[in-house]
Structures are given as structure tokens and as C-alpha cells.
Amino acid sequence: MFTIYNKQSGSSRNVIDRRNFLSIGGGIGALSLPALLQAEARQQTGSSHKALIHLHLGGGPSHQDMFDLKPDAPSEFRGEFNPIHTNVPGLDICEHFPLLSRMADKFAIVRSLVGMISSHSANHTSTGFDQKSLSNIGGRPYMGSVVAKLQGPTENGAPPYISYMGGKPGYLGPVYLPYKPSGNDLKLRSITEDRLTDRRSLLGSLDTIRRDIDSSGQLDALDAYTQQAAALVTSGTVADALDVRLEDPAIVERYGNGQGKNLLLARRLIEAGSRVVTMQWGGWDTHSNNFVSLKKLLPQLDQALSALLEDLSLRGMDQDVTVVVWGEFGRTPRVNSKAGRDHWTRLSQVFLAGGGMRLGQAVGTTSKNAEFAQDRPVHLQEVLATLYHNMGIDSQRIQLHDPNGRPQFLLDQRPPIAELI
């Protein structure tokens, strides 16, 4: 459990780790959660709770072995797996996705994804740009940071952006860093009530010093938001969401073991009030033994992802919560001498669900050996535009100001995927 222990009374209650309390959105200097609360009050946002679960398959998953199999291709391209039918006629997927095959009406696959970058980073799938873009002023902000700035926390008060794969606020600054809970089991450590009191005393001392040289009165207002942030963090909302022991054991089992549990945590964090939760699932950089690795990874992903889609639907969350699953790039069509597939940026795939989209379809077609997009190439920025659209953000219109005061569009004016919205 996540507890504060009061040494005088002997009582305990739910709490957050001191270090994590300081690190919400960037630490003591940034004080991002109070700043976000202040921004929400100013903009009067936060009442709507559209949300995003972003699962990054670290390493670059093999598109032709998952959702775009080529059974008629030569053996050096085809690989070892066979396609199976789904409950959507004409939409076949890998045989290692039997659970997903029975709910293909609840997701869509973009098979003709282009614009990927040869970099083991989630930067381009989180921003739509290469890491070098605007690097002289901090870089492009990840989508979660953009959402945190534009929409702030929800009424529940949970951090709007939570990430287990890291996140970059770019030119928005450290106020909009994601909150990252600590612990090997994605749980928060406990602290004593006295230590939290000491922390508040330290903040109070710093604010007193700063107030002496501040004549604008803004710091007095910030104090109120700091107190509100402390109340929200120590209320137990986020801590409870991270404690999967509070979940129905049958549901926990449904998600499977290992990395699949992360998707359960993501759902719980969204329910607690977060807007964007990003997770990473590693092991997809299969330069060797591609098929041996995927025989382990694909059934685990099948179980966890199908559980999440079913869970969101049963809870009535599937119209508001968007799920996106992708990696850095695709894999080479030709199997190499080590029975692996190497990096391939000319073609990739993305799995999308929820968000009120038109699902039960595959967008785009690819060449006979899955080398490139043949019909309806979809740029990665179109995917980001779709995610923004589902969050109620018009990426073609909204601009944010960088540190130099220049307005910056979120994307290069690419529209959402018309087939899905």
C-alpha cells in the first residue's frame, strides 16, 4: 500500500512518494502541477475527459508479421506465421492474435504508415518530427506535454500527463514534463507525514524569501495552487490507481503477466483523471531470431491489448479514450541470415482503437512483399493529428508560442485520417 505513517498517532493513510511529489512535471523549480492548476483556472478547461493511452513497442515491431502478413510472398519475405480471419471480413491478422481476431470491429490498422525515422526513440511518434526539429529552443514538445498545457488537469486533479517511457516538454519548458511514478512494480513509495510537512515548510520558506522581492502578488496566488496540488497528490487518487491489488483479481488475470499489466495501470490512471498515459513495451528490435521472439511477444500483446479494449468497452470508456500502439519504424521485408529483420523506415503500421473513431477496418494497402505503401500512404503526422482531434485539439489551427515568442503549429498542417473520423 501507499501510506503516510504518523509517528505520534500511529495512524496511516494513502500518500505519494516525496521524490515523486517533487518531480510532478519537473521538480522543485518548475512546480508544474500547481502551475497547471493555475493555467486550468485561467483557461477554465478540464471539464471534458477525453484521454489517450499510448503504447510504444520499443525497438520497432515487424509490420509484416503482425497485421499485414503476405502469405503469397516468397519464403525469404513471407516468414513463418500465417494469417487468420477476424470478425471483420477481409481483415486478416497474425495467427498469434486469436483474441484480437474476435474483436477486430473494435480497432483499426493503418498498414500504409510512412514518414518514420531511423531512431530508437519515441520522439517522432510523440511529436511528429525528427529530434533535431527546433532543437535550438528545446525541441518539439511531446503530445502529452501539449495536452497538459492546453487542457490542464481534469476535475479529479490527477496529473494530466503520466509517462513510463519518458517525455520531453520541448520548448514548453520543464513545467510540462510528465509525471513518472517510481518503483519496479510501477508503485509509489511511502513517506512519513513528518517528511511531507518538512517539504511544505521548505516550500514555505522559499516562497517567503521570494515574496519579499515580488510585488506583483502572483506568488500569493501560486501558494494556493501549491496547496491544492499537495492536497490532490496526497489524497490517494493516483496512489490507489497504481495499486492493482485494489482491482478485481479476475480482471488483473485477464491482462496477463509481465508488461501486459502496464495497460491495466494505464486504464486505472485514466479513470483516476489523467489525460495522457504513455507506456513502453520492449523487446521488438528483432535483428536476430525474429520469429522466436515474436512467438513470445505476440501472444502476450494479444492478451493484454484485447483485455484493454474489452475493459474500456465494458466501462463505457471506449468513446472517450483513444488507444494507439506503434513503434519507431517497421522491419525489413527480407529475412536476414540470422532469422531476423532489420530496421525499415519506408513502411510501418499503427494500431488504433477507441476515441469514437470508425473502426473495424484497415487503412491503406502495401506492396506484395510489404516493402512500401501502395495505396493511400498515411504520414505519421496524420496519426498525430487524429490523436489530437480525438482529444478535442485542432492541430491545424492551434499554435503555441516558443521562448522567442514565435507561434508554432503542432504539426505541419497534416489533417486527421479521414477514414477514421
- Number of structural domains in the chain: 1
The span from the CA of 97 to the CA of 300, in Å, is 9
Q: What is the pLDDT along the chain (421 residues), one digit of tens a residue?
A: 333 334 344 444 444 444 444 344 433 333 444 555 455 444 444 334 999 999 999 999 999 999 999 999 999 999 999 999 999 999 999 999 999 999 999 999 999 999 999 999 999 999 999 999 999 999 999 999 999 999 998 888 788 999 999 899 999 999 899 988 864 333 333 334 444 455 455 455 445 544 444 444 444 444 544 544 554 555 577 888 988 999 999 999 999 988 999 999 999 999 999 999 999 999 999 999 999 999 999 999 999 999 999 999 999 999 999 999 999 999 999 999 999 999 999 999 999 999 999 999 999 999 999 999 999 999 999 999 999 999 999 999 999 999 999 999 999 989 999 999 9
pTM: 0.81
Q: Cell 492474435, residue? A: 97
Residue 395's nearest CA partner among 407, 369, 413 is: 413
Instruction: Give a yes or no: residue 140 inside a domain.
Output: yes
**CATH code at 383?**
3.40.720
Q: Using CA atoms of 247, 250, 255, 259 in order, give the dihedral in degrees to the nearest 10.
A: 60
CA distances from 208 to 211, 220, 281, 416 (A): 5, 10, 45, 48
Instruction: Give a yes or no: residue 232 inside a domain.
Output: no
The DSSP bridge partners found for residue 321 are 51
DSSP-assigned letter for residue 93: E
Instruction: Give a yes or no: residue 222 inside a domain.
Output: no
Q: Percent helix, strand, coil in the chain (nearest 5)? A: 40, 15, 45
The span from the CA of 42 to the CA of 337, in Å, is 59
Contacts 24+ apart (CB under 8 A), 243-251: 243/1, 243/2, 243/187, 244/268, 245/1, 251/307, 251/311
Instruction: Give a yes or no: residue 268 inside a domain.
Output: yes
The span from the CA of 93 to the CA of 301, in Å, is 13
The span from the CA of 181 to the CA of 170, in Å, is 21
Please give the residue range of the domain that contains residue 368.
51-182+249-409
The span from the CA of 173 to the CA of 271, in Å, is 27
The span from the CA of 246 to the CA of 240, in Å, is 7
Instruction: Give a yes or no: residue 36 inside a domain.
Output: no
Instruction: Give a yes or no: residue 345 inside a domain.
Output: yes
